[in-house]
């Protein structure tokens, strides 16, 4: 009987993307017991496949989504404060094309962008003479003037991990590679069965509230795990990006207007590269195959080449990635016109609550998380006030004016380590750099050298603290070292991880044994 179970969570969350981990962090910080299950790695889906921007969504103004833009601009200010190591200001150049939107329309749009919400940290818009400014050098000579405005860069995958870390530190149970295969209501409680991909073991967990934050898979979870009919609430829109060798030597980004009405970004990426995207393509229902198409790659190269003096071809692509945005299906005729705002739906049956999340964007994840917890509060009763708007994420308590000052302090503290290495660690981990470099007095103390600036100390930290298991976890989500690491070094890292995998399985099994001993073991009748 469920009544015999002593360990019942307040909230169980399906999905370890940004919305799931954000909700877990918020809920546990307000005094609710939380368990989160992710079928793969944290942020392995849409949340690590964004344009890497915290922004208001300048183009959303054309679709009259003023409320969404205002909300996003307000959140931009908050997120800069709570995660200063992984979020940084960035200036964007918008070249004016006479054949597209008028100069005064662009100027009016950016005036709104500057003033829809209180702007505390970022510089406002200015006009730029591209034939005189260094930002005009990579562009074709026909672009004479433009506008320069502010938004923010973010390491999206790390934003996911940091929210999960904070949730775990506050008492949430975070379980990765653990796929929910069934959820049923019994006696007013959810009984959720999940399969641990690492150990092969099935586990049943009990909770009062079930949150379906599975992103593109939200309808699939409803249909398969919860035995609902297919809802078709989500419009699956694929966004793809390409990475090429750096196209310009300044630190600003570009936003280009395409003749089809879309916009495209070209962003400095990991020092040696330029990130270009994105597309808006209806993806369909095949979520097992999410990759850039030849048509998308050609599209990005074509439109970027309309602006850059040096043409870009598919031969220039060194890496690409794609993600499916789970947009709420509002009936828009074109994918690019579908709303980027989120919808939270609830259903109460037999004294148990189901919350489904549709849509959303990474910039507004924290507000969405607050919305989820408000639904939990209405069902279980309020316990503590909202708090995430003023609490830094792990590593964000720099104690310095900005990340640059913090980095300089770390370089002074560890003068025997390369400047480039310290800069990378500081931007990824913030003050948690001290965990990685604990008692390090020489480069030899960093352990095995995997090449490209990756050492054993960092790998062990990622395994122990950030749920990293595979080379992809480490090289493309926790870091971006995979862009420069030779295959022979990847094989060396793979061997190291295989050895640690055995230890990981043993550790997980011990943890589950302890958990089993502390709860009543009875099945659901």
Complete domains list, the chain, with CATH: 2-46+158-233+340-390 (3.50.50.60), 87-153+235-328 (3.30.9.10), 403-513 (1.10.8.870)
Tell me how long the chain is: 525
> What's the CA gap between 502 and 184, in Å, rounded?
33
> What's the CA gap between 431 and 434, in Å, rounded?
6
> What's the CA gap between 114 and 110, in Å, rounded?
6
Q: Name the CA dihedral angle for 52, 58, 60, 63, rounded to a multiple of 10 degrees.
A: -160
pLDDT in tens, the chain (525 residues): 455 566 899 999 999 999 999 999 999 999 999 999 999 999 999 999 999 999 998 888 877 788 889 999 999 999 999 999 999 999 999 999 988 889 999 999 999 999 998 888 899 999 999 999 999 999 999 999 999 999 999 999 999 999 999 999 999 999 999 999 999 988 889 999 999 998 899 999 999 999 999 999 888 888 877 776 655 578 889 999 999 999 999 999 999 999 888 999 999 999 999 999 999 998 987 888 899 999 999 999 999 999 999 999 999 999 999 999 888 776 554 555 556 678 999 988 778 899 999 988 899 999 999 999 999 999 999 999 999 999 999 999 999 888 999 999 999 999 999 999 999 999 999 999 999 999 999 999 999 999 999 999 999 999 999 999 999 999 999 999 999 999 999 999 999 999 887 565 555 554 454 444 333 333 332
> What's the CA gap between 53 and 327, in Å, rounded?
18
CA quadruple 213, 216, 219, 220: dihedral sign:
negative
pTM of the model: 0.93
For residue 225, give the DSSP letter: I
**Tokens found for residue 259:** 């003749």
Helix (H) or strand (E) holding 409: helix 403-413
């Amino acid at each position: 009987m469920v009544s015999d179970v002593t360990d019942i969570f307040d909230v169980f969350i399906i999905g370890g993307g940004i919305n799931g981990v954000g909700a877990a962090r918020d809920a546990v910080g307000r005094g609710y017991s939380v368990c989160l299950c992710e079928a793969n790695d944290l942020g392995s889906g849409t949340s690590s496949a964004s344009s890497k921007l915290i922004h208001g969504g300048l183009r959303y103004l054309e679709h009259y989504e003023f409320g969404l833009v205002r909300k996003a601009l307000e959140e931009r200010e908050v997120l800069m404060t709570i995660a200063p190591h992984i979020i940084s200001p960035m200036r964007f150049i918008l070249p004016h094309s006479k054949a597209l939107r008028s100069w005064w329309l662009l100027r009016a749009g950016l005036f709104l962008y500057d003033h829809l919400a209180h702007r505390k940290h970022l510089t406002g818009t200015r006009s730029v003479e591209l034939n005189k400014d260094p930002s005009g050098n990579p562009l074709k000579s026909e672009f004479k003037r433009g506008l320069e405005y502010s938004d923010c860069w973010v390491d999206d995958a790390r934003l996911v991990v940091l929210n999960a870390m904070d949730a775990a530190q506050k008492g949430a149970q975070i379980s990765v590679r653990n796929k929910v295969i069934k959820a049923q209501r019994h006696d007013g409680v959810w009984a959720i069965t999940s399969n641990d991909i690492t150990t092969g073991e099935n586990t049943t967990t009990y909770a009062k509230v079930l949150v379906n934050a599975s992103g593109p898979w939200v309808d699939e979870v409803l249909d398969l795990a919860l035995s609902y009919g297919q809802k078709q609430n989500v419009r699956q829109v694929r966004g793809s990006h390409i990475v090429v060798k750096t196209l310009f030597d300044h630190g600003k980004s570009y936003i280009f207007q395409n003749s089809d009405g879309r916009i495209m970004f070209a962003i400095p990426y990991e020092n040696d590269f330029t990130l270009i995207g994105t597309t808006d393509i209806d993806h369909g229902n095949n979520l097992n195959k999410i990759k850039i198409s030849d048509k998308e790659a050609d599209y990005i190269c074509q439109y970027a080449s309309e602006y850059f003096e040096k043409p870009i071809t598919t031969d220039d692509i060194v890496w690409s990635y794609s993600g499916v945005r789970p947009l709420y299906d509002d009936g828009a005729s074109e994918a690019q016109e579908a709303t980027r705002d989120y919808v939270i739906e609830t259903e109460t049956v037999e004294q148990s609550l189901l919350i489904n999340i549709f849509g959303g964007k990474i910039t507004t994840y924290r507000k969405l998380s607050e919305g989820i917890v408000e639904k939990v509060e209405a069902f279980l009763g309020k316990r503590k006030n909202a708090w995430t708007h003023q609490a830094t994420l792990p590593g964000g308590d720099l104690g310095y004016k900005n990340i640059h000052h913090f980095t300089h302090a770390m370089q002074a503290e560890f003068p025997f380590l390369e400047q480039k290495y310290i800069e990378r660690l500081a931007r990824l981990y913030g003050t948690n750099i001290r965990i990685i470099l604990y008692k390090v007095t020489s480069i030899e103390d960093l352990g095995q050298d995997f090449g490209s600036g990756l050492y054993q100390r960092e790998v062990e930290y990622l395994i122990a603290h950030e749920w990293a298991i595979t080379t992809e976890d480490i090289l493309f989500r926790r870091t971006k070292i995979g862009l420069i690491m030779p295959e022979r070094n990847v094989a060396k890292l793979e061997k190291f991880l295989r050895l640690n995998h055995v230890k990981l399985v043993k550790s997980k099994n011990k943890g589950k044994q302890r958990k089993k001993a502390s709860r009543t073991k009875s099945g659901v009748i």
